[in-house]
Amino acid sequence: MNPIEKSRQIKIEADRLLKDEGIEALMLEHGEVIYTGSYALDLMVWTDIDLYVIPKLGITWDECAAQLAAGFLRRPDVDRVKVEKSFWKTRPDLPKGIGFGVKIPGPNHALPWKLDIWIVDDEVRSQNRVLMDAIRSKLTPKSREIIILAKTALITNGRTPSMSGVLVYEAVLYKGLTTTDEIINYVLSRSL
């Protein structure tokens, strides 16, 4: 299977996990769900889904995190739930909020599904919407292909380096780089 077909297949499996396996329904019990990153852009190359949860009115971040963690821990298909209350204080490149890492075994992949969930406020959601809209407005079929090929080339140990997707999008959509080697060099020279 070529990288473009594999990307499509990963997205189909992600949709199945979220919609058919009840992951999205669990999160919707606690707030609004906003997908971001490669899942929202349909540029997936590995089993990672990034999203935000905006807590329901009157629910604090801490309450939302506790309820959501309990919901994930009750699921027999969840291997790990990791909660970080102040990770953003030491990593200013990450959103201000409570971060969750959830791992769920994937039936067709050696690696599990990794959900990166951030409980955030409307300000973070608005900032993300602007960023995602800007990226979407620049995507073309050709740039999608270039991005998927570059992200695929960056995979080591089954995943891409942390935050490398953003750098790939920047290299292709804003710097005009088109070859995988140019893009990888750009990413590696700026990696966090």
What pLDDT, in 10s, does the model give residues 126-180?
A: 898 999 999 999 999 999 999 999 999 998 877 777 778 899 999 999 999 999 9
pLDDT of residue 158: 72
Domains along the chain? Answer: 3-121 (3.30.460.90), 139-192 (no CATH)
The two structure tokens encoding residue 81? 């739930």
- Give the pTM: 0.90
Query: How confident is the model over 83-139, as pLDDT tens digits?
Result: 887 666 667 767 778 888 999 987 755 678 999 999 988 888 889 899 999 999 999
Residues 125 and 176: their CA atoms lie apart, in Å, by 27
Listed in sequence order, the residues at least 6 apart from 13 whose beta carbon sits closer than 8 Å to its beta carbon are: 47, 106, 108, 109
Listed in sequence order, the residues at least 6 apart from 191 whose beta carbon sits closer than 8 Å to its beta carbon are: 161, 163, 164, 167
User: Angle formed by the axes of helices 180-190 and 141-153, to 10°?
Assistant: 60
Query: How confident is the model over 20-53, as pLDDT tens digits?
Result: 999 999 999 999 999 999 999 999 999 999 999 9
Can you spell out the DSSP letters for 72-85?
HHH-TT--EEEEES
Are 11 and 144 a contacting pair, CB within 8 Å? no
The two structure tokens encoding residue 158? 């089954």
pLDDT of residue 97: 82
CA dihedral 159, 163, 166, 172 (to 10 degrees): -50
Query: How confident is the model over 63-82, as pLDDT tens digits?
Result: 999 999 999 999 999 999 99
pLDDT of residue 87: 61
